[in-house]
Structures are given as structure tokens and as C-alpha cells.
Amino acid sequence: MSQTTTIEVPEGPRTVTLMNGSTFSFNSNISTTLEKIPVVDAGRIWSDNLEDRKAVAEEIREASRNIGFFYLVNHGIDESYSERTFEQAKRFFALPEEKKMEVFTGLVPNEYVGFHPMECYNRNGWKHQDLSEAFNWSYDPREDPEAAEDAEPTVSIWPSGVPGFREGLYAYHGQLLKLARRLTRIFALALHLPENAFDEYVKRPEAGMRILHYPEQKHSVEDQNGIGAHTDVECFTIVTQDMSGGLEVLGKNGNWIKAEPIPGSFVVNIADCFMRQTNDFFVSTVHRVINKSGKERYSAPFFFGFDRRRLLEAIPTCVSDENPMKYPIMTGGEYYAWRSNKQKSNNVHNTKMAR
């Protein structure tokens, strides 16, 4: 979700400044499979044995600290949910452009919901716009059996005349919401906190989701991305990707690592709010999508974070007198609105509408 600005260097690493204010360099646009992203068996997160849950939490702690990405296998969600979600994605993106623009994201200030048209962003300043389109929707307490009584209504907008679309997407959203709440307890253990440390933070969670469509890229990687290099906003993201490949993660050595699809798995990555709250102990790692598969690519990331009304205060185990908090304190909602508006200000359709 992050817009970036690129400064090209004639020789040597390329340096990019992200919308969250951080900078990074990468060595080249050539990605590798020589480095691997950790694989975590999620079966133990549902165990009644605390020691089992602590053991998987330590694996997630290491992955979140070292690369900020890991695969999650044996997570317990039936693949039929993802299959039906991709069917809905193909159905929506096949609609005429004018129909999709009825729910254009520019119609909803301060939020990222709605339709994001093809080639509307250029996150890295390449020669050509990012080659993808997306539809986003937000948490809806009516779809959550654990919703807090004071939960605010959803801000999502939905296309008319597309029966079953909203229902189909929320069916999968509900499954991922349950998994994300359980993972939040595992993350608490990973930070050496009581398992229930974040329970109050996720009664009214930030739980947005999106479907994405990437045509095959004809232009070179030097000139275009599917989605340019960025970090996510919330605490963590659970990504469902099809078998086309294309997701790439930037390693600490400056090389792009291919997150090759593992059947039935999710890719989980740390996002900026968790990085801020853990005082950089967890890593919100830069990633991008390059679709050179020769076919259409679809994905469905689920963005999970804490209640927007809560302050992004430092987690006690991640600060000390020698390692004070690095970030100014603000609510999750303030940070989300700032990032969303920064991103949407780069949307070429918003620019045209403002003229």
C-alpha cells in the first residue's frame, strides 16, 4: 500500500525512499531463488499445549526479526475459500471499466476501500505505471461474531448488480479474521509477553482485505513492476497468492528473493505498525510483485492491525533505557489515514478528478 519515490544512481545500488520515511537500496532487478523464506507449520498454533504454542512462536519470532516474512502451512483454512475468492476476483475485474469506477477509491476520503484502476500508481517512479488493479474492502462488525458492541460501521463501498460478490469475499475474510486473531496471540508469545496481551486490541481490529489482478508484464523489470517496492501499513499481512509467482522480498543483503508459491500456504509479512510498536525488533520488509509468468496473476492479501483508536505505544519487551522508543506516539487510525492519503494522492485518477 505504500507509494515510493526513486532516485536512480547510474552505477551501484539504487536507493529508494518509502512513504513511511525509511530508505533502502537494492543491488539489481534480478531476483534469486538461492535464498529462502522460512516455512512455519501453523498446526501447533491451535494446540491446547502452551509449550507447543510457545515453540511455534519462537520460530515466528526469528522469522519476524530476521526477514519479516514467512510461509504458513497447515493453517486449517480450506482451500475452497481461496478458490471462490479468486473466482469473484476474476468476475469483478472482467466488468467494464465504467462499472468498476462506480466504486472508485477516490470517492471515500481517508480510506483505501473501493476500486483502484489499472496503472493508476507508480510507486517507484519507473518509466511505466504499476501494472495491476485492485478492489479493497474493510472490516465489517456485522460479519464478525466476536465484534465489540461499540464497533463502528464499515466504510466499504460495493458495486451494484453483482450478486454474491460481497458475500463471497466476506466468507473468506471471516476465516482469515479468525486465523489472524489466533496469530496475534502467537505474536504476543513471540514478543515474550502474556498470550492475551493484545486481546483487547483486536476486538475491533483493523482488518482490511483486497483482491488484485496483474496482467502479464510486457515491459522489462527495469521499466515497470506489477506493484512497486513498498511496505504494508498494519501489523501483519496474510497473503493468498495463486501459482503464477511474482512476489519478491528484499533481503538484508540487497537482493530480491522470490517468494515462490507453495500450494495451500499463506505468505505472512510484518507491516509498519508492528515494526513501530516493536521498536524495529520486528522487520517490515520491502516487497514487490513482478508478473513475468506468461499468464494473468491474482492475489488476495488480508491486512490485520489493532483497533485504530489505540495508541501505537512501544511494546515493553522492545524498549529500555539503552534502547528508547524511536517513533512518535500516535493512534493506529492517525497513521493509517496519513499513509492512505499519501498513497491515494499519487493515484492518476484522483489527479485528473482534481483538475
Contacts of 30 (CB under 8 A, 6+ apart): 256
In a domain, 309, yes or no: yes
> Is the model more confident about 69 or about 2?
69
For the entire predicted model, the pTM comes to 0.91
Q: Does residue 257 carry a pLDDT above 70?
A: yes
What is the pLDDT, as a whole number, of residue 276?
94
Residue 24 has pLDDT above 90, yes or no: no
Q: What number of other Cβ atoms are within 10 A of residue 351's Cβ?
A: 12
Walk across the sheet containing 227-230 and list its strands. 31-32, 256-258, 247-250, 287-289, 227-230
15, part of any domain: no
Q: Examine residue 200 and state whether it is found in any structural domain, yes or no.
A: yes
Confidence of residue 42 (pLDDT cuts 50, 70, 90): very high
Pairing of strands 227-230, 236-241: unpaired
Q: What domain range is 113 assigned to?
A: 29-354
Summarised one tens digit per residue, pLDDT across range 296-338 is 999 999 999 999 999 999 999 999 999 999 999 999 889 888 8
**pLDDT band at 354, cuts 50/70/90?**
very low
**Total count of domains within the chain:** 1
The model's confidence at residue 250, banded by pLDDT at 50, 70 and 90, is very high
Q: How far is CA 344 from the centre of its chain?
A: 16
Q: What percent of the chain has pLDDT over 90?
A: 74
Q: How confident is the model at residue 59 (pLDDT cuts 50, 70, 90)?
A: very high
Answer yes or no: is 168 within a domain: yes
Q: What is the pLDDT of residue 123?
A: 82
Please tell me the predicted confidence (pLDDT) of residue 21.
65
pLDDT band at 18 (very low <50, low <70, confident <90, very high): low
Cα separation, 58 vs 130, whole angstroms: 37
The domain spanning residue 93 has which CATH number? Answer: 2.60.120.330
CA 264 from centroid of its chain's CA atoms: 18
* Residue 151 counted as domain residue: yes
Q: Looking at the domain assignment, is residue 118 inside a domain? A: yes
Cell of 223: 521499466
Kind plus residue range of the DSSP H or E element containing 258: strand 256-258
Residues 6+ away with beta carbon under 8 Å from 259: 37, 69, 71, 241, 247, 248, 249, 267, 287
Element (H, E) at 125: none
The verdict on residue 234 lying in a domain is yes
HSE-CB at 185 with a 13 A cutoff on CA atoms is: 18
Provide the pLDDT for residue 6. Answer: 39
Q: pLDDT per residue over 260-300, tens digit each?
A: 999 999 999 999 999 999 999 999 999 999 999 999 999 99
List C-alpha distances in Å: 45 to 51, 184, 319.
10, 10, 27
